[in-house]
Amino acid sequence: MALTLHGTVTDNQAGILRPRKNITPLYMNGDMAVAQRGTSFASLSSGANQTLDRHGFVVNEGTFTVTQDSDVPTGQGFGKSLKVDCTSADTSISSDGVVQVYQRFEGQNLQLLKKGTSSAEYVTIAFWVKSNLAGNFTLEVKDQDNSRLIASQVTISSADTWEKKVVAFPGDTTGALTNDNNLSLQVTWWLVAGSDYNSGTLATSWEAQNNANRAVGNFNLASSTDNEFYLTGVQMEVGQFDADSIPAFQFEDRATNLARCQRYFERITTSGSGDSFGAGVCFSATQGRVDIRYSTVKRANPTITFGSASDFLLQAGNKSQAPTGLSSAGSSLHGFFCHTTNSGFTVGHGCVLLDNSTADATIDASSDL
Amino acid sequence: MSEYKLYNNSLGKPTIVCRKKDMAFIPMSEDNTDYQEYLQWVAQGNTAEEAD
């Protein structure tokens, strides 16, 4: 049987002889398919905001809407992209101005990079990008444990056209990533950078953090309300690759992708009216204690926030009543006790916490980085 | 008014800090980033409201 090679022999060797060292993608939700918090995040003008799963958005210039969009590169298998849309422009960027899309990583998931050793590995980041704004933006890899970083200027060559970018960063022989569940590394797309971040020389080699060298030559996505920036198909590979040798994007099935995201954030909800969140006991006439379990073990003991208490219903015996308040107690990596504020229940009765049908009742458990 | 309030567990021990602005219930766990922010707030000389 004849074997036909496409491309150069070297390129095919790269794909055949260099299998991935990681079984699952290092970069999570790179196809932007999971959006537990919602699909649209409007009026973002300050602070660090969580958007599509595993994707943060920092902003202090202009106003933006981040959405899960269906505009994707043709024929690549992607169904969703992350869209950043400028809704209020700012043409006078302050010195500390910043707009970024980022993902953060636990150190224990990146030990295969061997950072801080003489065997430190290259990291290659590939992604699809589209913007009306042709020009340069910055892709940065930042070691949060040791305050070191490296950056690359990426060019959008043609406006309003999906382009695939492949950026290889050499390994860093200085500064090991701490082998635990805390933040160690951040990958950032700089969309706006004030003079505090662009007045030096871009850090194209690993160096100690010097803010002036972080986003030199960056365009200003806040310059017009016409501006938008799309991102999808993000992959992070161990090793040095180029556009010809980069391995194919690792598509994950929905359940796997969701479960990996839920390590950092899980929205607990039901299918509708009368569905159960969990069972417990009436600890007093005014308090139900209901055990809630997570679908996925969390990175860290998570922060719990509830939707409106009136969207829930505490039921014990033949009595049902919407709580007037909800709180958490006994929280762990696996679940927590939901304490309800009610009245007129009988101590010791078993109870269940239900969806009250008035709206979609939700409980958010967040252990994001 | 304090930005945070302590909540006790079933044994009467404070194990949760409530961030009042969004009623987020934050466990006293040092790898929780919200708790890290709370500790910074305390380090600035602030004090959370005692549990009921």
Strands A81-88 and A63-69: antiparallel
Separation between Cα atoms, residue A284 and residue A52, nearest integer Å: 40
Nearest CA in chain B to A289: B10
pLDDT value of residue A2: 57
Separation between Cα atoms, residue A83 and residue A255, nearest integer Å: 23
Residue ranges per structural domain of chain A: 2-262, 265-366
The token pair at A4 is 């036909």
Tell whether A330 is within 8 A of chain B (Cβ).
yes
Mean local confidence (pLDDT), A165-182: 98
pLDDT value of residue B14: 87
pLDDT value of residue A23: 85
Nearest CA in chain A to B21: A305
Mean local confidence (pLDDT), A129-156: 98
The contacts of residue A126 (CB under 8 Å, 6+ apart) are A164, A165, A166, A167, A233, A234, A235, A237, A241, A246, A249
CATH placement of domain A2-262: 2.60.120.260
Mean local confidence (pLDDT), A169-191: 98
Ramachandran sector of residue A278 (left: φ over 0; alpha: ψ -120 to 50; beta: rest):
left
Separation between Cα atoms, residue A262 and residue A16, nearest integer Å: 33
Cβ atoms A189, A94 nearer than 8 A: no
pLDDT value of residue A7: 57
Nearest CA in chain A to B24: A305
pLDDT value of residue A3: 53
* A132: phi then psi, degrees, rounded to nearest 5: -70, -15
* Residue A22 binned pLDDT confidence (cut-offs 50, 70, 90): confident
Mean local confidence (pLDDT), A298-320: 95
Average of per-residue pLDDT values in chain B: 92
pLDDT value of residue A17: 53
| DSSP percent split of chain A into helix, strand, coil, nearest 5 | 10, 40, 50
Tell whether B25 is within 8 A of chain A (Cβ).
yes
Nearest Cα neighbor of A327 from B1, B14, B3 is: B14
Nearest Cα neighbor of A123 from A236, A246, A245 is: A236
How far is C-alpha A354 from the geometric centre of its chain's CA atoms? 30
A180 vs B contacts (CB less than 8 Å): 31
Residues 120-179 in A contacting B (C-alpha not used; CB under 8 Å): none
> DSSP character for A62?
S
Separation between Cα atoms, residue A42 and residue A230, nearest integer Å: 16
Size of interface A-B (CB pairs under 8 A): 58
Tell whether A303 is within 8 A of chain B (Cβ).
yes
Report the residue count for chain B: 52
Between the CA of residue A125 and those of A20, A114, B23, what are the distances in Å?
14, 17, 38
CATH placement of domain A265-366: 2.60.40
Ramachandran sector of residue A330 (left: φ over 0; alpha: ψ -120 to 50; beta: rest):
left
pLDDT value of residue A13: 45
Tell whether A304 is within 8 A of chain B (Cβ).
yes
Closest CA–CA distance from residue A49 to any residue of chain B (Å): 13
Average of per-residue pLDDT values in chain A: 94
Q: What percent of chain A lies above the pLDDT cut of 90?
A: 89
Tell whether A322 is within 8 A of chain B (Cβ).
no
pLDDT value at A18 more than 80: no
Asked if the Cβ–Cβ distance from A300 to B29 is below 8 Å, we say: yes
* Residue A5 binned pLDDT confidence (cut-offs 50, 70, 90): low
pLDDT single digits (tens) A208-237:
999 999 999 999 999 999 999 999 999 999
The contacts of residue A124 (CB under 8 Å, 6+ apart) are A166, A167, A168, A169, A236, A237, A238, A239, A240, A241, A246
pLDDT value of residue A358: 72
* A314: phi then psi, degrees, rounded to nearest 5: -95, 130
pLDDT value of residue A273: 81
> A95-107 b/e with 16+ CB inside 10 Å = b?
eebbbbbbbbbbb
pLDDT single digits (tens) A35-87:
999 999 999 999 999 999 999 999 999 999 999 999 999 999 999 999 999 99
Cβ atoms A340, A325 nearer than 8 A: yes
Asked if the Cβ–Cβ distance from B31 to A301 is below 8 Å, we say: yes
Tell whether B32 is within 8 A of chain A (Cβ).
yes
Separation between Cα atoms, residue A118 and residue A129, nearest integer Å: 33
Tell whether B51 is within 8 A of chain A (Cβ).
no
pLDDT value at A16 more than 70: no
pLDDT value of residue A10: 53
What single string gives the DSSP state of each residue in A70-98?
A: ----TTSS---EEEEEEEE--SS--TT-E
- Considering only CB atoms, A302 lies closest to which of B7, B10, B32, namely B32
Q: What percent of chain A lies above the pLDDT cut of 70?
A: 95
> A239-265 b/e with 16+ CB inside 10 Å = b?
bbbeeebbbebbebeeeebbbbbbbbb
Question: Which 3-state string (H, E, C) describes A125-140?
Answer: EEEEEEECCCEEEEEE
A183 vs B contacts (CB less than 8 Å): 33
pLDDT value at A136 more than 80: yes
pLDDT value of residue A251: 97
Mean local confidence (pLDDT), A318-325: 95
